[in-house]
Amino acid sequence: QQQVKQSPQSLIVQKGGISIINCAYENTAFDYFPWYQQFPGKGPALLIAIRPDVSEKKEGRFTISFNKSAKQFSLHIMDSQPGDSATYFCAAYASGGGNKLTFGTGTQLKVEL
Amino acid sequence: EPEVTQTPSHQVTQMGQEVILRCVPISNHLYFYWYRQILGQKVEFLVSFYNNEISEKSEIFDDQFSVERPDGSNFTLKIRSTKLEDSAMYFCASSATEAKQETQYFGPGTRLLVL
């Protein structure tokens, strides 16, 4: 119940296309959902985050869509660029769960020219 | 921009040996964390630390693991007697507060290989 399931495991998108990564959870105590971006040789870095009382959050080319009833959320990268090629992790915090992040399994995104 | 730093970047050790992984969190941060990532798997929480004591730990963080803030800047993870399955990338992170909206900043990691 503590898991966050993420798909796909890998994704290849053409430059200018839309990249979509999906996550699902079961623990209703999760109440904050950040996405992290990780480049090779680097630690994960916060990209964008959303609270479950909001259905969508947009920052530049990155948008999180949140479906509370389905317990699903997704990251959309519009106009994908080669520089977006990285591993993306969804994550979740649980109220009363301290401040530990529970991560999804990660999606390796490659944006081709 | 301030960042979390970790040393060493790579560590190779023999099974049964002790290792100490070091981290320098962002200077005004008060909450510190260790996570690990076994190759090809997800990032997993190990432990959080505040005010010189463990706030929370996972089931992975057994008696072989310990954390310490020996001075005002360093935050260390010690594995007393390493096992093959401890081979992983270990990430240190820090945050200014414990609020869930507070960003956890991750270091570049230490890749530990146990032979």
Is B43 a domain residue?
A: yes
Cα(B19)–Cα(B112) distance, integer angstroms? 9
In a domain, B33, yes or no: yes
* Confidence at residue B91, expressed as pLDDT on a 0 to 100 scale: 96
What's the pLDDT score for residue A29? 87
The answer to whether residue B93 neighbours chain A at the CB level (below 8 Å) is yes
pLDDT tens-digit series, residues A49-93: 998 889 999 999 999 999 999 999 999 999 999 999 999 999 998
How confident is the model at residue B42, as a pLDDT?
87
DSSP for residue B103: P
| Residue B67's CATH number | 2.60.40.10
The single residue listed with the structure tokens 């190779």 is B12
Higher per-residue confidence, B58 vs B97? B58
Query: Which positions in chain B touch A108 (Cβ < 8 Å)?
Result: none
Query: Looking at beta carbons, which residues of chain A come within 8 Å of B53?
Result: none
Between these two residues, B17 and B101, which has the higher pLDDT value? B17
Number of domains in chain B: 1
pLDDT at residue number B114 = 97
Would you say residue B85 lies in a domain? Answer: yes
B91 to A98: CB separation less than 8 angstroms, yes or no:
no
> In which residue are the tokens 């963080």 written?
B61
Domains contained in chain A, CATH given: 4-112 (2.60.40.10)
Q: Which of A32, A101, A106 sits opposite B101 (nearest CB)?
A: A32
pLDDT of residue A97: 61
Query: Does residue B81 lie within any of the structural domains?
Result: yes
pLDDT tens figures, A90-104: 999 887 666 789 999
For residue B107, tell me if it sits in a domain: no
- Please give the Cα distance from B32 to B95 (Å, whole number): 7
Between A28 and A64, whose confidence is greater? A64
Is B87 inside a domain boundary? yes
Neighbours of A69 (CB within 10 A): 5
Residues belonging to chain A with any Cβ–Cβ distance to chain B shorter than 8 Å? 31-32, 34, 36, 41-46, 49, 51, 89, 93, 95, 97-106
CB < 8 Å to B103, chain A: 34, 46
A93 sits in the region (left: phi over 0; alpha: psi -120 to 50; else beta) called beta
Residue span of the structural domain in which B72 resides: 5-96
Average pLDDT of chain B to the nearest whole number: 93
In a domain, B63, yes or no: yes
